[in-house]
Amino acid sequence: MFTNLINTFVLAWQYTLSHADEFILALREHLFLVTISMIVGILVCVPLGIWTARSKRIATAALNTVNTLRVIPSLAILFLLIPYLGLSSTSALIALIVLALPPILINTDAAFRGISPAILEAARGMGMKPQQILFQIEFPLAAPVILTGIRIAAVEVIASATLAAFVGSGGLGIYITRGFALYDYSILFVGAVPVALLTLFSEGIISGAQKLIQYPQ
Amino acid sequence: MQGIVFDKVSKQYKNAAAPAVNQVSFTVDPGSLVVLLGPSGCGKTTLLKMVNRLFEPSEGTIYLDGVNIRDMEVTALRRQIGYVIQQVGLFPHMTVAENIALIPSLLKWEKPRIQSRVDELLTLIHLDPLEYRDRYPAQLSGGQQQRVGLARALAGDPNVLLMDEPFGAIDAITRASLQQEVMQLQNQLQKTVLFVTHDVEEALLLADKIAILKEGALVQYDTPWNLLTNPADEFVRELINADDRIRQLTVLKAKDVMIKPSHHEQVLKKVQQRTDLRQVLSLLLSSPNAVVAVTDSSGKVVGEISLQQLVLE
């Protein structure tokens, strides 16, 4: 069993070396999908979360919407999009963005909502302008919780970007589908192991950033 | 007209049956400390927060040093008013120094001036700058946090200070020392202070004048002594327990009742001219001959008090 596993890793490594160009392209495609969907997710959800934290009505509407989107499996979203967008990376990106939205939005909303009213009253009472309060007080206080949301989203998106292979957008998922089709675990590992490493890497980076900005509580 | 002038100020909240503040007029003289006193819901905090325009009056006008505060830009107004609140509201992601430096940097002071101001204020509130400058609020005790809150409010050197139950959440022992410190600071700095509390002892101790509020209306505005000896009505009498002779003694100073010294000073216990008569009484009760000497700040005996001087009117 154990020797089998080692063997599979060795075969996967050899396969990677013999398909080096293809592997690097797949890795780049994967990183492209992840980066774009995370950037869009952050650009949409952080401002939206700030807004929802200030209004209960908007919060209910927005959070319910993303939560509804979240229960649809990403694979289902992909197939639903194919009739409209075809087999394209746009379909894959949309499915991934839908996945990235909820954790970022929910955490941004909670982070801003969680800031003590006394702190905000002190800031206002001292004569800070709304913009100064937002950037000098609220953002730094909310940042650790927002980063947690980004971390959760990144982990999900990195793993789910493998689905892009189903709509021909490449990414490390091609090795998973190929390995599956050929019933060859070593090929499957060529996709799965780098995905796992990418996940750990992004967790590490974001946790490090969180430690940097964390203030004593 | 200097100081803070309230001119027929009212505040009606939406969906509230009665106004929170109703036609209140009075003047806070520059350099004096005025306490707003009353039970919960009497409108004292609302009245305070209208001065830095966290609330806007529904009617009436507030003047600050002769200027209608509505004619001033709201952030500019607030930057010249120190604001201290019960929950302190220090910014947890900023160090003590950064918290104190906030208003000076909003006022665009030069860096070196801000730094020396921070150290000056920390020294003023008895926190060693070297030790406390770079600490975060979470690394301070409750009393220390409120000291820093006070320093932060004083940072821009405002003429006016608004204090909203600043010691309400602090234990009794720390509160007593903070009250002493506020009195000391007030002697030194002579700010115009508006101070909200529901603690009668605190009000009597700190106030030059007390404004007593009931259901949004100003019931009486006078010095602690006049309130105790001439309460306007039953409400005031009960609120401040005006008939309590011991309480009356707390607002009188030794210099108010002392007579010419006649005893040989060596044998007497000594008190300062500013010592309150409750402390004098306590000392008298433990003095063998029931006489204490009153000294001026240089230690020279200028008068004496015996039990007889405490039995008045």
What is the dotted CATH code of the domain comprising A16-214?
1.10.3720.10
Contact A122 B102 (CB under 8 A): no
B162 to chain A, closest Cα gap in Å: 10
Contact A116 B89 (CB under 8 A): yes
B30 to chain A, closest Cα gap in Å: 21
Question: Does B288 have pLDDT greater than 80?
Answer: no
Other C-beta atoms closer than 10 Å to the C-beta of A113 total 15
Contact B136 A119 (CB under 8 A): no
Question: Within an 8 Å CB–CB cutoff, is residue A114 touching chain B?
Answer: no
What DSSP character marks residue B253?
B
Question: Within an 8 Å CB–CB cutoff, is residue B79 touching chain A?
Answer: yes
Rounded Cα–Cα distance for residues B23 and B6 (Å): 9
In chain A, where the domains are located: 16-214
Question: Within an 8 Å CB–CB cutoff, is residue B141 touching chain A?
Answer: no
A97 to chain B, closest Cα gap in Å: 32
* Cβ–Cβ < 8 Å for B297, B272: yes
For chain B, the 3-state helix, strand and coil shares in percent, each to the nearest 5, are 40, 25, 35
Rounded Cα–Cα distance for residues A108 and A48 (Å): 8
Please tell me the predicted confidence (pLDDT) of residue B312.
66
Question: Does B255 have pLDDT greater than 60?
Answer: yes
Q: Which two tokens stand for residue B56?
A: 């806007």
The count of CB pairs under 8 A between chains A and B is 65
Rounded Cα–Cα distance for residues B166 and B149 (Å): 9
pLDDT interval class at A83 (50, 70, 90)? confident
CA-based R_g, chain B, Å: 21
Contact A216 B89 (CB under 8 A): no
What is the arithmetic mean of pLDDT over A116-125? 95
A74 CB-side CA count, 13 A: 23
pLDDT tens digits, one per residue of B122-163:
999 999 999 999 999 999 999 999 999 999 999 999 999 999
A134 to chain B, closest Cα gap in Å: 13
What is the arithmetic mean of pLDDT over A32-46? 96
What DSSP character marks residue B139?
G
Contact B93 A118 (CB under 8 A): no
Using an 8 Å CB-CB cutoff, list chain A residues near B145. Answer: none
pLDDT interval class at B241 (50, 70, 90)? confident
ipTM: 0.85
Question: Does B313 have pLDDT greater than 60?
Answer: no
Our CA angle for A160, A165, A169, nearest 5°, is 105
Q: Which long-range contacts (CB under 8 A, 24 or more apart) does B238-245 make?
A: B239/B37, B239/B38, B239/B39, B239/B200, B239/B212, B240/B37, B240/B200, B240/B203, B240/B204, B240/B212, B241/B200
Please tell me the predicted confidence (pLDDT) of residue B115.
95
